[in-house]
Chain A
Amino acid sequence: MAAVVGREEPAERPLVPRERPRSYYGLPIVRRPAWTWEVPLYFFTGGTAGALAAVSILARWNGQHRMGRRARRMALAGAVVSPVLLISDLGRPARFLNMLRVLRPTSPMSLGSWTLAGFGTALGMAEAADLVGLPAAVTGTMEGAAGILGPILANYTAVLLGDTANPIWRGGRHLLPFVFSGSSLAAAGGALSLAGPGEGRVASRRMVLVGTAMEQAAFLAMESQLGPLGEPYRTGRGGRLAQAHRRASWVGALLVLAGGRSPFLQRLGGAIALGSSALLRQAVYRAGFQAADDPGYLVGSQEP
């Protein structure tokens, strides 16, 4: 039989591959999350609320009471939405109280649930004390408690992801907290910018700029640390989301920077900075799916 030009007719083609396979029929080894859309959205609402609660107490100390109250009310909104999102994600939502059945130091989710519960309670009490007209010290104490729990709330979700078997989350476990921290800082500035002019306009602008810089720097460092393992941040859905996040971050920061001249631009920039922070959590979440689905990432990360 004449051989096709340029191609050699294989003498015998093995039915099964001759090479040693690097996986079992390409099937995943670790599982992709069973979580639904509520979880990455919560990472955003919880993170933003956490940073805003810290703004609230710092602004109070600084004598910027109107800004502090505004930040606290927005944080409270986040603290109300967040548990709803988390409960609706559960496989058995009616059993959500089991989260507070025990406190488990070995489980970032347990620590996070308690943090969120304490955070929401403190903020609610601060608001109630303020409305009823209790002495400012009571409101301040409650705000202070929420202000301490807030930065933990903004960060623990990164530990929660790092403390899994997912190769891309695990690989970035030491830098992801900085990414989330920066993003929460920018989102808090974005929320305050969006809320409009007045006291704290300059401060909120700085928050967006500092937060964006911190988040972008940490993300770059994380990507370079991940190396080839970071591919899901560059391709597929995770890659598209990461790209959209990066662009939105810079656009938001530039608009907020221009907001010195136009309050409208600051509002617009604030909205984009908020959206960008939500996109970041989506990108990290989705990249985890890609990293779990291809066993090559896990095997590669565990080879000597």
Chain B
Amino acid sequence: MITGPRQPPVALPLWQAGGTRMGFFTDSSVCIGCKACEVACKEWNGVPDSKPAWSGNSYDNTLRLGADSWRHVAFVERVRQDDAAGVRWLMSSDVCKHCTRAACLEVCPTGAIFRSEFGTVVVQDDVCNGCGYCVVACPFGVIERREDDGRAFKCTLCYDRLKVGEQPACAKACPTASIQFGPVEELREAARSRLEQVRAQPGGEEAHLYGADEADGVGGFGAFFLLLDRPEVYGLPPRPEYRRRDVVTMWGAASVAAWLLVGGLAGALRWRR
């Protein structure tokens, strides 16, 4: 069934079938930019090192998520318009969103990307043939093909650790509980009450939850965020779109175009001298 916007993706996700969906709540208001998450992730998952280079973008030399960066701490420096004296320094640890409607999973032609029993989105590296479709399909630019390896890589939400009842390496390493791991439903509750607290504090006027709501473009994230500024400021799309929403109209247009092609050919051939 691929018609209609509210249909579940390929397979019925297990959290809908009674399983518990696990995920992250990244509360950027308490992130101190220590990058312990980046390091722990690389250590545990054996992610190759990135070439060291100074970007000049505040304290951020990782720059964005990719095949070799599954956690990325963004550093945003901003002078607030209403307060010339105060520089606002925002930090947030970005990660794969493990979308409810995951574009990478749906477009994968080999079935290499699957929905785990924890509701997370994981790439099977023994199946992926490096077609690169997920790379252009991801609305967040998360998944990437590794140059030397040829296959696509991204955060697995520490699938191996979850299987033995451990929490993901980044959440374990986070010293301020900015990265919280748990059942998504519980995390959403916690996030809503945390948002109220932050909003009441100075500087928290613009705080909002990003991806905690199922009405969000991709049906909500398994890994959502509390942000203190607009998403694009952190390098996130302001309104990520669920691409399959108009799959019917897209294929419909293609069918009409195919018939026009045939009609054009038939006209050209039948219309004899």
A interface residues, Cβ below 8 angstroms from B: 14-25, 27-35, 51, 54-55, 58-59, 62, 64, 89-93, 95-96, 98-99, 101-102, 104-110, 113, 151-152, 154-156, 158-160, 162-166, 169-170, 173-175, 177-178, 180-182, 184-185, 188-189, 200, 202-204, 206-207, 210-211, 214, 288, 292, 295, 298-299, 302-304
Instruction: Mark out the residues of chain B between 214 and 273 whose CB falls within 8 Å of any chain A CB in the assembled complex.
Output: 229-230, 232-241, 243-244, 246-247, 249-251, 253-262, 264-273
Categorize the interface residue count of chain B.
35 or more
Q: How many contacting A-B pairs (Cβ < 8 A)? A: 273
B34 at the interface (CB under 8 A from A): no
- Other-chain contact of A30, B74, B78, B139, B152 (Cβ < 8 Å): B139
Is B107 an interface residue when CB atoms closer than 8 A count as contact?
yes
Do B149 and A177 touch across chains, with their CB atoms under 8 A apart?
A: no
A204 to B76, CA, bound (A): 59
B251 touches A159 (CB 8 A): yes
Our pick among B232, B250, B267 for the contact of A163 (Cβ within 8 Å) is: B250
- Once the chains bind, are B149 and A298 in contact (CB under 8 Å)? no
- Which residue of chain A has its CB nearest to the CB of B273? A202
B137, A90: Cβ atoms closer than 8 Å: no
Given contacts A58-B265, A303-B239, 8 further A-B contacts (CB under 8 A): A15-B87, A31-B138, A91-B128, A104-B108, A155-B258, A164-B133, A174-B250, A302-B240
Q: CB < 8 Å: which of A90, A102, A288, A299 contacts B129?
A: A90
Which among B10, B107, B268 is the interface contact of A207 at CB below 8 angstroms? B268
Contact B249 A174 (CB under 8 A): yes
B233/A98 in contact, CB under 8 A: no
Cβ B243 vs Cβ A170 within 8 A: yes
Residues of B bordering A, CB below 8 Å? 2, 9-10, 55, 57, 60, 63-64, 74, 76-79, 81, 84, 87, 103, 106-112, 127-133, 135-141, 143-146, 149-152, 229-230, 232-241, 243-244, 246-247, 249-251, 253-262, 264-273
Q: Which partner residue on chain B sits nearest A32 by CB separation?
A: B136
Known A-B contacts A31-B138, A163-B137, A174-B253; A92 and B238 likewise in contact (beta carbons under 8 Å) = no
Are A185 and B149 interface neighbours, CB within 8 A?
Answer: no
Q: Which residue of B lies closest to A207 (CB)?
A: B268
Closest partner residue, chain B, to A16 (CB atom): B77
- B266 proximity list for chain A (CB < 8 A): 58
Least CB distance from A161 to B in Å reads 8
Question: Quick check: A91 and B149 within 8 Å, CB to CB?
Answer: yes
Answer whether A62 and B244 are a contact pair too, CB < 8 Å, given A92-B150, A164-B136.
Answer: no
